[in-house]
Structure formats: structure tokens, C-alpha cells
């Protein structure tokens, strides 16, 4: 049960970080009025009108979201990397699905994939260090 709780808490933490950074991106780089972010077709039709700065914030959101989600999962799990890897895997998969559902610029696709892979690797490393430290006490 603790593993499930750790996974859920990690996913919620990741989602919160992603939402905050995407909100900040839209605050600093407002989307054109014709884009309805609740409508996938509107986003698809207007992807080329989204400011570059806003897209950069999305990449940062994905990197920091996966990293935060994995590290927070470690604080609940404390004993195993399994929930950490599940959270990281779910977020990697969600990013890939997003990239296939919406037509992103090629630079964004490459940068986003590299960002989530880096976030996953750093998150795994930090989580592994923490769990190893906790188990050695």
C-alpha cells in the first residue's frame, strides 16, 4: 500500500510542478486569444502561433515535473525505487503521447525528449542516493 501511496503522491507533485510552470509560461508569454487550451483541435490548428517562450516553459515544466515527482516519491517510499521508476515511466510516456497527439515544432520535440530523459536520469540518481542513505542508517 505504501508503494501505491508513494506513486500517487509523486504523480500529484509532478502534476503540480508542471501546472505551475506552464501557468508561468502563459503569464510571461500569453497565448493568442484564438487558442482555447481546453480544445485539442484549437491547439493543433494554432500550434505555430504559440510563443517560443511559452514552449520553453513547457520544456522546463516537463523536466522539473518528472524530477520533482520522482524525488517526492522517494520521500514517501523510502525503501525501494519501484514507485520512483513507475512515476518516471508514467511521465515519460505522458510526454511521448503529448508529442504524438499535438504537432510540435521539431526543435521542441527534440528538446522535450532530452529534457524528460535528463529529468528521469537525475531523478533516478537522486532517489537512489536517498534510498541507499536511508537504508544504511
**Helix, strand, coil in percent for the chain, rounding step 5:** 85, 0, 15
Q: Rounded to an integer, what distance in angstroms lies between the CA atom of residue 58 and that of residue 21? A: 7
Write out the E strands in 51-137: none
Total count of residues recorded for the chain: 137
Q: Rounded to an integer, what distance in angstroms lies between the CA atom of residue 116 and that of residue 103? A: 18
Task: Render each residue's pLDDT in the chain as its tens digit; 137 residues.
Answer: 899 999 999 999 999 999 999 999 999 999 998 888 888 899 999 999 999 999 999 999 999 999 999 999 999 998 899 999 999 999 999 999 999 999 999 999 999 999 999 999 999 999 999 988 877 76
Q: Rounded to an integer, what distance in angstroms lies between the CA atom of residue 94 and that of residue 100? A: 10
Q: What integer pLDDT is reported at residue 37 of this predicted model?
A: 84
Amino acid at each position: 500500500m505504501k508503494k501505491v501511496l508513494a506513486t500517487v503522491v509523486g504523480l500529484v507533485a509532478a502534476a503540480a510542478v508542471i501546472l505551475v510552470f506552464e501557468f508561468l509560461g502563459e503569464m510571461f508569454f500569453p497565448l493568442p486569444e484564438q487558442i482555447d487550451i481546453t480544445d485539442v483541435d484549437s491547439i493543433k490548428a494554432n500550434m505555430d502561433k504559440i510563443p517560443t517562450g511559452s514552449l520553453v516553459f513547457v520544456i522546463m515544466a516537463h523536466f522539473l515535473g518528472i524530477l520533482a515527482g520522482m524525488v517526492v516519491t522517494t520521500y514517501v517510499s523510502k525503501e525501494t525505487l519501484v514507485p520512483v521508476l513507475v512515476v518516471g515511466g508514467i511521465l515519460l510516456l505522458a510526454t511521448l503521447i503529448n508529442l504524438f497527439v499535438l504537432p510540435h515544432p521539431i526543435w521542441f520535440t527534440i528538446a522535450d525528449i532530452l529534457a524528460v530523459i535528463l529529468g528521469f536520469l537525475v531523478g533516478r540518481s537522486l532517489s537512489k542516493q536517498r534510498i541507499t542513505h536511508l537504508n544504511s542508517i
